[in-house]
Amino acid sequence: MLHKSLHSATVCASSEIGNDPAYGAVTPPLYLSSTYNFKALDDMGPYDYGRSGNPNRDALATTLAKMESGAGAVITSSGMAAIDLALNLVPAGGLVIAPHDCYSGTHRLLLARQKQGRLKVEFVDQTNEVNIANRLTKSPALVFIETPSNPLMRVADIKAICQLAKKHGALSVCDNTFLSPARQNPLTLGADIVVHSSTKYINGHSDVVGGAVIAKSEEHIEALTWWANCTGVTGAPFDAFLTLRGLRTLHARLDIQENNALIIAKFLDAHSAVSKVYYPGLKSAPGYELARCQQSGPGAMLSFELASGRAGAAAFLEGTSIFQLAESLGGTESLVCHPASMTHRAMDEQARAAAGISEGLIRLSVGIEHIDDQLAELERLFAALGDASIKSANHDQ
């Protein structure tokens, strides 16, 4: 069943509100019980055991399914658990087509499953439709899409890729973590399944690790639910409770973060120390027009290249304050990271080079701090970068 009667922002704020059957609590109560009473022999209620089902997980799943226009959702213990859960739909030895510049954890998982003999994987530049079409002639079981990509913000055509996948009998799975359901809805563009690291924008407060898988069809939801229970990757009740609490403010948070990110992207684009900016909100960015068609906004993630390479990155990242030097993304606080040595260090050097992840690449997750303070911090970091260059030149003399 599709859910499009309410705006996504209204779903965030009102879903599962006032539905407490016991005491009429306005917000959903927390259910920590690991087990539940049977009414009688062979008469089980809606829940029997915490791994199989929980009211807090169901409340979060219902809300995300509405936001993504899906038939249902499964809440998992992490974003990687969500991706691995979706891979259970691939038959033994089946081929998976994935982006060459996908998140390092996804890249590592697919290679590990291939090494086990569980599946086969081929990585391809998904912004090149000819490359995608050629790989699909190999009859893959699943096409995995990540757009915008992490960390280079490349925009892949979800609708076109999903149409090709369907033509060749392949499932299409889209990682929607970077934009969240507030800015992109892959199921409405033709994807069969959407995965999220709910750790990021969905929760939005950097205090919960979790994931979600949303499917368009009841058939896929039944299979995913079975596998989640069988393998035990379902999320904890308290994590689901906190995630739904964080989700309430998704649109409000993202509106501020996105506005700040666009200002910062323009600032970086004009800076002499920056050789390139990757952000779908810039008119000069590859994929800008496509992003405008399939996204309702460019999001709040961006990356940029320092002309001074790794040495410049080291100098730039020393003494960060407002932009915390840390992995992850999507929280209210601003984060900065060096993908080559942090989020994507699990990829070998050759894979990083093929993906275009250089030693001078910096990734920003833009938070809700005041834009004036964010820009002041960036000015200070760039000034320190200049000072470091001067000191290095004097030392060389």
Considering the candidates 20, 47, 51, 113, report the single residue annotated as catalytic. Answer: 51
Strand (E) or helix (H) holding 263: helix 250-269
> Is there a catalytic annotation at residue 200?
yes
Residues sharing a CB contact under 8 Å with residue 291, sequence separation 6 or more, in sequence order: 148, 155, 280, 281, 285, 298
Considering the candidates 58, 84, 101, 175, report the single residue annotated as catalytic. Answer: 175
3-class secondary structure, 233: coil
What is the sign of the dihedral through the CA atoms of 138, 159, 252 and 257? positive
Both structure tokens of 296 = 């309702």
Cα 100–chain centre separation: 16
CA distance 253 to 326: 20
Tell me how crowded residue 41 is: count the other CB atoms within 10 A of its CB: 6
* Angle in degrees, 0-180, between the axes of helices 371-396 and 250-269, rounded to the nearest 10: 40
Residues sharing a CB contact under 8 Å with residue 362, sequence separation 6 or more, in sequence order: 303, 304, 305, 306, 313, 316, 317, 336, 337, 338
Strand (E) or helix (H) holding 75: strand 72-76
What is the sign of the dihedral through the CA atoms of 184, 190, 196 and 198? positive
Both structure tokens of 239 = 């994590």
Considering the candidates 66, 135, 183, 200, report the single residue annotated as catalytic. Answer: 200
CA distance 124 to 102: 10
Considering the candidates 57, 84, 101, 103, report the single residue annotated as catalytic. Answer: 103
Residue the block writes with tokens 């995995």: 144
Both structure tokens of 212 = 């979600």
Among 332, 334, 333, 352, smallest CA distance to 343 is for 352
Q: CB of 243 within 8 A of CB of 60?
A: yes
Both structure tokens of 380 = 């200070």
CA distance 368 to 254: 8
> Is there a catalytic annotation at residue 23?
no
Which positions are catalytic?
51, 103, 175, 200
